[in-house]
Amino acid sequence: MQDQHRFNVKAWLLWTAGFVAFILGGALATGVVGRINDVGSALIGGLIAGAVIGTGEWLVARRLLGNPQTWIPTTALAMGIGLGVGAWAVGYGTSLGQLALMGAITGIPLGAAQAYLLRNRLANAWMWAAAMPLLWALGWTATTVGGIDVDRQFAVFGFYGAITFMALSGVLLDRLRAATTPATPALPVAQTKAMAQ
């Protein structure tokens, strides 16, 4: 019998492979709205990228994330709002600091909305909400440091950021899942001694 509290490498690898949704979502958002350089493009670009990302996340962790009819649109709406506010707050700038701050702001509504959906599925779902601003900031940082042409004002971070985000959020997701699974009850001392004889 598998120990549910051990790190599930297979589930983590599958979740991490979901980074492809960031690439596809970003490409689709860019194809539809172009640069994220005003409130409208940020909101619509965020909605589009968020819908694709939410779909990707659900496909790689459907048992854990629940109903796609809530996960996907909630992720899309939260990302649209987060990117709209975040991009506006940094004046649509693309410096490392500006993108990290934009990512952190994007992660606030996204993390809160997703944690709300996870509240009955994961212990300490609030930790998901708390981690998302940091992880989204790290995603943009990894993309910028990796030499991606962020001056093109993308809706979401690229390959380096997506891998970083999904790998780290996958570790968090696994630990929250493990904390939710009840521990195997210990055998009474008398029964343990009897089995040892």
Q: How far is CA 138 from CA 69, 101, 151, 167, 173, in A?
A: 28, 10, 17, 12, 17
Domain boundaries, the chain: 9-196
pTM confidence score? 0.88
- Per-residue model confidence (pLDDT) at position 186: 42
Structure tokens given for 192? 């343990």
Question: Is the distance from CB of 113 to CB of 75 less than 8 angstroms?
Answer: yes
Taking only the tens place, the pLDDT of each residue in 94-137 is 999 999 999 999 999 999 999 999 999 998 999 999 999 999 99
pLDDT in tens, the chain (197 residues): 455 678 899 999 999 999 999 999 999 999 999 999 999 999 999 999 999 999 999 999 999 998 999 999 999 999 999 999 999 999 999 999 999 999 999 999 999 999 999 999 998 999 999 999 999 999 999 999 999 999 999 999 999 999 999 999 999 999 999 888 654 444 444 454 544 45
Instruction: Give the pLDDT confidence score for residue 19 in this predicted structure.
Output: 97
